[in-house]
């Protein structure tokens, strides 16, 4: 059956074997400007309905060949969703026979003799109902198409996210993980990769919200993670790169709470940096060996230029230990009364089980705690059997052979300083040409502090006292960005010398000089009281890490000596 042209008058099919009745109905309907077609029997009515579009049928009951009941049934069968109202026009007044009209599929009836007022009222009522039905049907179809398109887009996005974050390192012996989104897409992120040194890096994180919006940051973050890790980037450099990318691209109300874990199995240590995530636990059979709580702002909250400040806290690896980390979908699982499972609940399960049984038991306990309620947030859990990873993880010796000695100098002008960060390539050079991997974090901190000090205070002439309050800290970095953008002159020289024949171990001599006027380095705070201040800590850390620290007048050149294995 075809569709009536949009905007044209409604078409009525009048079915009556008595010519006078048919003419009367045609006159009433035609007087209103409606289009009319007629049929004198049931079979003809079905044929006419099939031939052309019809908006309403006025059907007699007593018809030759095919009565009105059967004709209506066939018409309704041909138009299961179009909703063409059938109004029976009949002289029958028996209630049972009239009820058959409705059973046959008719919407209403009028009795003869025909009342023009009554018939027009019913026609108006059913035309409005038909128009409303068509509107609702069109909206339903549009919503259905939209939902299908949305589901296809979500499935495509899910494949993109899954491909971007996939890693063989998550399948390493001893690594267990659970990853379950609350919707098709998850704001949780779980990444794993091996550094060239053989260390395993794990990043577990949670973007603000869940669903498509929360998952939008996953591919970019995963790309930076895998690309920088493959290049041997220091964890602090990796975190800086992710933070800068997210701060530049995410809206102001989005960020990434994250925990970065380095499993340095060659060095026998574990490092954790936690910003906004539940604690990371190191569990042994006798209880909690170490806990790593949140200590920093999530990634993407603020763009800051203090490169290298996001340092991992390291612990020696005990034997028989398991590492556990989770997203807040685990600790914030709620029971039917709204109570949260909580950090204490997680820790109670982990310490109340043999270390290797904690993973499965924790998932089971969280499921029981929810009491059958729907999961409301993305949930991720990762556990690592450190002993098994060490013995079966296929680690190879990634150490760098001894070298005699070398030296290098890097000169950065004002144009380069406005956008370049020389610290990562210097650290990579040290690592590739002889510095021990165990020293990489300390060397990164030393070089970053000396470079930032030369840039911020030597060339940009910034005042560290701005950092003495929370508001001042933010103002300091706003002023830094402004000053750096307007820097037109000046340079910084970085000299690095590796002495592979030093008697006390391989020594790294680092010298940083800037073209600024210098500063009174003798007045720099280094007492215990200064440790409580948010500024000035960098030089104190450098002095603590290095064997020698020497400033040269007028304070725009400093040379330090770092000895492999400690200051």
- Percent of the chain having pLDDT more than 70? 86
Which of the residue ranges 233-247, 512-526, 528-542 would you say has the lowest mean pLDDT?
Answer: 528-542
- Walk across the sheet containing 379-385 and list its strands: 175-180, 379-385, 322-326, 280-284, 287-292
Same domain, 285 and 187: yes
pLDDT confidence bin for 73, thresholds 50/70/90: very high
pLDDT confidence bin for 341, thresholds 50/70/90: very high
Token pair for residue 535? 């500024």
**Residue 65 CB contacts under 8 Å (≥ 6 apart), including other chains:** 41, 42, 43, 44
Same domain, 42 and 65: yes
* Total domains present in the chain: 3
How confident is the model at residue 402, as a pLDDT?
A: 47
Q: Over the stretch 349-365, which tens digit does the pLDDT of each residue have?
A: 999 888 789 999 999 99
| End-to-end Cα, the chain, rounded Å | 90
Classify residue 1: in a domain, yes or no.
no
Classify residue 155: in a domain, yes or no.
no
How many angstroms separate the Cα of 223 from the Cα of each of 161, 210, 274? 11, 20, 20
* Chosen domain end from 362, 392, 422: 392
**Residue 348 CB contacts under 8 Å (≥ 6 apart), including other chains:** none
Classify residue 144: in a domain, yes or no.
no
CATH number, domain of 36, equals 3.40.50.2300
Classify residue 157: in a domain, yes or no.
no
The stretches of 88-115 forming alpha helices (DSSP H) are 95-103
**Residue 255 has what DSSP assignment?**
-
Judged against a pLDDT cut of 70, whether residue 326 lies above it is answered with: yes
CATH number, domain of 371, equals 3.60.40.10
Same domain, 491 and 531: yes
Classify residue 297: in a domain, yes or no.
yes
| 259/281 Cα distance (integer angstroms) | 12
Same domain, 177 and 296: yes
Same domain, 388 and 476: no
pLDDT confidence bin for 530, thresholds 50/70/90: very low
Same domain, 125 and 184: no
* Chosen domain end from 392, 415, 432: 392
Q: Which helix (H) or strand (E) holds 545?
A: helix 537-545
How many angstroms separate the Cα of 475 from the Cα of each of 141, 251, 484, 538? 54, 20, 14, 19
Classify residue 161: in a domain, yes or no.
no
Task: Evaluate if pTM is beyond 0.85.
Answer: no
Strands 256-264 and 200-207 turn out to be antiparallel
How confident is the model at residue 411, as a pLDDT?
A: 93
Same domain, 197 and 239: yes
Is residue 204 within 8 Å of 190, Cβ to Cβ?
yes
Classify residue 235: in a domain, yes or no.
yes
CATH number, domain of 472, equals 3.30.565.10
Same domain, 384 and 416: no
Same domain, 348 and 296: yes
Q: What is the 3-state secondary structure (H, E, C) of 299-336?
A: ECCCCCCCCCCCCCEEEECCCCCEEEEECHHHHCCECC
Same domain, 487 and 548: yes
Which range of residues forms the domain containing residue 522?
405-563
* Radius of gyration of the chain, Cα coordinates, nearest whole angstrom: 39
How many angstroms separate the Cα of 510 from the Cα of each of 444, 513, 562? 11, 10, 8
Classify residue 153: in a domain, yes or no.
no
Judged against a pLDDT cut of 60, whether residue 559 lies above it is answered with: yes
| 545/493 Cα distance (integer angstroms) | 22
Same domain, 355 and 252: yes
Same domain, 231 and 367: yes
* Chosen domain end from 392, 421, 445: 392
Total residues belonging to the chain: 567
């Amino acid at each position: 059956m075809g569709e009536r042209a949009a905007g044209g008058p409604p078409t009525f099919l009048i079915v009556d074997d008595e010519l006078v009745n048919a003419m009367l109905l045609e006159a009433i309907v035609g007087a209103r400007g409606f289009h009319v077609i007629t049929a004198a029997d049931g079979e003809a009515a079905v044929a006419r309905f099939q031939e052309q579009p019809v908006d309403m049928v006025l059907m007699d009951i007593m018809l030759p060949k095919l009565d009105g009941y059967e004709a209506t049934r066939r018409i309704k069968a041909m138009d299961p969703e179009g909703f063409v109202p059938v109004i029976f026009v009949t002289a029958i007044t028996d209630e049972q026979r009239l009820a058959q009209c409705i059973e046959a599929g008719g919407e209403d009836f009028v009795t003869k003799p025909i009342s023009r007022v009554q018939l027009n009222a019913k026609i108006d009522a059913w035309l409005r109902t038909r128009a409303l039905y068509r509107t609702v049907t069109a909206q339903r179809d549009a919503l259905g198409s939209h939902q299908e398109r949305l589901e296809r887009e979500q499935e495509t996005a899910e494949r993109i996210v899954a491909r971007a974050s996939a890693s063989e390192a998550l399948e390493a012996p001893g690594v267990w993980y659970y990853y379950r989104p609350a919707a098709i897409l998850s704001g949780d992120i779980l990444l794993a990769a091996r550094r060239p040194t053989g260390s395993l890096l794990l990043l577990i994180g949670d973007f603000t919200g869940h669903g498509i919006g929360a998952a939008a940051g996953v591919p970019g973050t995963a790309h930076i993670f895998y690309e920088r890790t493959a290049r041997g980037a220091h964890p602090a450099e990796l975190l800086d790169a992710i933070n800068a990318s997210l701060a530049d691209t995410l809206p102001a109300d989005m960020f990434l709470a994250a925990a970065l874990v380095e499993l340095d199995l060659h060095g026998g240590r574990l490092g954790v940096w936690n910003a906004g995530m539940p604690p990371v636990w190191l569990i042994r059979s006798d209880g909690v060996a170490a806990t790593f709580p949140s200590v920093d702002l999530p990634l993407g909250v603020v763009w800051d230029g203090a490169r290298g400040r996001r340092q991992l806290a390291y612990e020696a690896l005990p034997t028989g230990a398991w590492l556990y980390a989770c997203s807040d979908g685990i600790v914030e699982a709620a029971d039917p009364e709204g109570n949260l499972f909580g950090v204490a609940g997680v820790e109670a399960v982990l310490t109340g089980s043999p270390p290797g049984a904690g993973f499965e038991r924790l998932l089971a306990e969280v499921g029981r705690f929810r009491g059958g309620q729907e999961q409301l947030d993305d949930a991720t859990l990762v556990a690592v059997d450190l002993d098994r990873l060490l013995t079966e993880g296929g680690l190879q010796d990634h150490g760098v052979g001894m070298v005699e000695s070398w030296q290098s100098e890097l000169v950065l002008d004002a144009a380069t300083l406005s956008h370049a960060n020389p610290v990562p390539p210097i650290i990579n050079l040290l690592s590739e040409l002889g510095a021990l991997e165990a020293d990489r974090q300390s060397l990164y901190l030393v070089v970053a502090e000396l470079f930032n000090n030369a840039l911020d205070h030597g060339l940009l002439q910034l005042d560290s006292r701005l950092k003495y309050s929370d508001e001042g800290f933010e103002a300091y970095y706003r002023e830094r960005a402004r000053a750096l953008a307007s820097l037109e002159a000046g340079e910084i020289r970085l000299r690095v010398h590796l002495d592979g024949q030093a008697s006390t171990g391989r020594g790294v001599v680092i010298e940083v000089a800037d073209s600024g006027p210098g500063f009174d380095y003798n007045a720099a705070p280094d007492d215990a009281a200064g440790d409580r201040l948010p500024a000035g800590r960098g030089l104190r850390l450098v002095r603590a890490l290095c064997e020698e620290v020497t400033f040269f007048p007028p304070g725009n050149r400093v040379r330090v000596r770092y000895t492999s294995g400690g200051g």
